[in-house]
Amino acid sequence: MRGALAPRERGDRGALVYAARALKPAILCSLVLALAAAGCDGCSKPQVHLEDAAPVATTIPDAAPLSAIPLPVASVAKMVNPQGLPAYAGPTGSVEGTITVTGDPAPATPADFRRCPGAANIYGHAFREGPAGTKRWLADAVVAITGYGNFFVPEKDEAKEVTIEGCGFATRTVTMTFGQRLEVKNLTKEFWAPKLEPTDSSVMMMATPGGDAVKLYPKKPGHYLLVDHDRKYVSDDLYAFLHPLHTSSKVGGTYRIDGIPVGKVTVNTSHPKIGDAEASKEVVITEDVVLRVDLELVYKTPPDAGAPVDAGPQPRLH
């Protein structure tokens, strides 16, 4: 999940190039399709056999993408549905399961937690995992569905909500769909100033205790950091995808994704703090059935263990 947008990469295709670089290949089927439509040499569209799906998918030819950000719907459509594919309107199923990690334990990430000592439980290690052992649950892993048919799956929700609880955000990995807005709700008794990095605004938004949610707007698909102006230990990963079938695992490693088109799909997982480790499984989605899919990542301590822990991709957008 590494990459940065070069200065020459502008416009819709440039944003797509950035998104493709910022996110791992195993969870980028929709981005590859978008790049191909934008004229990407050497990109190939996955072969999906719709006859394997039962029943056959139905679609809505003129469905428009959701846009809850200050961008025209047409601009969002160029990103999330560049080929103008019909929207899927057929039967769906679900997947749920647990993400686990094996191998070396998460390295410590020392920081100044004096303002809120409980923050060490959230940010004190490179990633959040279960008790020591061979297989531990893994929180904050990205889980995404790819490989479905030649149609567009629209986002249903205008906003993605994230809460501030205790000493940090409720999740260290946020997934949302490009076109949504991010709403950050402060459930603590202190003032917070959440923001996205990189940002194109110098305005600082204040999240008051128990007040209205702060609204943030990713202007392009790809990777961001969700941080707080005053708490330097807070640095969460946010991914704005070009499709809605994604989530992140909770404490305990559990996840669930609903609204998946029937037929063959691939369930993928990776973690922004575990290098290039990936896991995936091809499954068949059945109407109204919740399929259990457990996946496992392996963490190996980097050879330069004394160096700062890899915090994932650091986009440099100006």
pLDDT single digits (tens) 9-55: 333 333 333 333 344 444 434 433 333 333 333 333 333 343 343 44
Q: What is the mean pLDDT of residues 265-270?
A: 97
How much is the pLDDT for 110?
A: 86
**Chain mean position to CA 61:** 27
How much is the pLDDT for 203?
A: 80
Neighbours of 216 (CB within 10 A): 22
In which band, very low, low, confident or very high, does the pLDDT at 121 lie, cut at 50, 70 and 90?
very high
Q: How far is CA 43 from CA 24, 28, 40, 46, 257, in A?
A: 15, 12, 6, 10, 28
In which band, very low, low, confident or very high, does the pLDDT at 226 lie, cut at 50, 70 and 90?
very high
The H or E element containing residue 77 is: helix 73-80
- Of 74 and 147, the one with more pLDDT: 147
In which band, very low, low, confident or very high, does the pLDDT at 71 lie, cut at 50, 70 and 90?
confident
How much is the pLDDT for 276?
A: 86
As given in the structure block, the two tokens for residue 102 are: 């094996």
How much is the pLDDT for 74?
A: 84
Rounded Cα distance between 228 and 250, Å, is 21
Average pLDDT of the residues of the chain? 80
Rounded Cα distance between 242 and 77, Å, is 10
Q: What is the pLDDT of residues 289-301, one digit of tens each?
A: 999 999 999 999 9
**What is the DSSP-derived secondary structure letter of residue 65?**
P
Phi/psi class of residue 196: alpha, beta or left (left: φ > 0; alpha: ψ in -120 to 50)? beta
Q: Of all residues in the chain, what percent carry a pLDDT higher than 70?
A: 73
Tell which residue, 175, 241, 311, has the closest CA to residue 20: 241
Three-state SS for 262?
A: coil
